[in-house]
Amino acid sequence: MSAILLDGKKTAEEIREWVQTEVSAMIRAGCRVPRLTAIRVGDDPASEVYVRNKKNACEQVGIESEVRILPERTSQEELLHHIDSLNADESVHGILVQLPLPPQLKPEVIQERVSPLKDVDGFHPDNLGRLFSGNPRVVPCTPAGIMVLLEKYGIPLEGRRAAVIGRSNIVGKPVSILLLGKNATVTLCHSKTRDLREVVREAEIVVAAVGKPNTVTGEMVRKDSVIIDVGMNRLEGGLVGDVDFPKAKEKAAYITPVPGGVGPMTVAMLLHNTLNAAKRLQQIDP
């Protein structure tokens, strides 16, 4: 039997519609229109596409957006200066610095400089600390999107075994904490994990966030499990995830497609986080 597809495209559309309604209500109430500024440094083609998509998504729901494009050679001091001016600008509610950054720029220093109240990526240490202590303010977009998708499809998490593959600060670590918060029993795997195959075969929930096609083979997938494929790997034949989708879908109960699974959820949660930042900064109840 073939798995049920966790439709990120459709779920993201529902979130966007909700954000649009909320933005309209804020405007009617005389509040400032939520505004996001994205900073892109250099000419990374993938970053160019991501930032353009985020800007378009903002426009569709009535969030104002601006992209600041800085040259590849931008110094840390110059970038921090841009962030300081955006932190001080009352018309800006969300600040996003697109990763990856050129090597002279230290992401952890940059992320810490963004005001935690305007940090719509949820990467500021204050926001990560709150997440880890179980009192989140802003949840990083991809992990937040995964949790919304699991909830939307009514997938129980309590007491279930989850394997998260990949331990980045952007995906693997925060999604592990969120699953733990829902009382799943989480194993966080990485490149040094021994017997990944065995860990995955035991798992009822698998989140693959590695960036390598076929990290999860069909043979590793447990029958009736839930497979969340975060990977985005551009091959000659198109975009694929980290999971062998055709084989995995024959064994799993639920699976995210690539594209159309986690990707659209990430963008939708950015809109959600920007809306909430605008509400918080204007003292409106979320």
The reply to whether 54 belongs to the active site is: yes
Options 84-92, 102-110, 146-154, 187-195: segment touching ligand NAP (CB under 6 A): 187-195
- Rounded to whole angstroms, the Cα distance separating 149 from 152 reads 5
The reply to whether 283 belongs to the active site is: no
98 near ligand NAP (CB under 6 A): no
Residue 86 or 230: the one with the smaller Cβ distance to ligand NAP is 230
- Rounded to whole angstroms, the Cα distance separating 185 from 161 reads 5
Q: Which stretches within 40-195 are classed as H helix?
A: 45-61, 76-88, 107-113, 125-132, 141-152, 172-181
Options 57-65, 105-113, 127-135, 260-268: segment touching ligand NAP (CB under 6 A): 260-268
Q: CB of 260: closest distance to ligand NAP in angstroms?
A: 10
Candidate list 181, 211, 213, 260; residue touching ligand NAP; CB under 6 A: 211
The reply to whether 121 belongs to the active site is: yes
Candidate list 212, 247, 279, 280; residue touching ligand NAP; CB under 6 A: 212
168 near ligand NAP (CB under 6 A): yes
- Rounded to whole angstroms, the Cα distance separating 180 from 6 reads 21
**With CB under 6 A, what is the number of residues at the site for ligand NAP?**
26
Residue 34 or 166: the one with the smaller Cβ distance to ligand NAP is 166
96 near ligand NAP (CB under 6 A): no
- Rounded to whole angstroms, the Cα distance separating 229 from 255 reads 8
276-279 LR contacts (CB < 8 Å, sep 24+): 276/138, 277/34, 277/93, 277/94, 277/117, 277/118, 277/119, 277/120, 277/138, 278/26, 278/31, 278/32, 278/33, 278/34, 278/35, 278/93, 278/94, 279/26
Candidate list 38, 170, 252, 278; residue touching ligand NAP; CB under 6 A: 170
Contact 286, 257 (CB under 8 A): no
209 near ligand NAP (CB under 6 A): yes
Q: Under the rule (CB under 6 A), what is the footprint of ligand NAP?
A: 142, 165-168, 170-172, 189-193, 196, 209-212, 215, 230-233, 262-263, 266
Catalytic residue annotation: 54, 98, 121
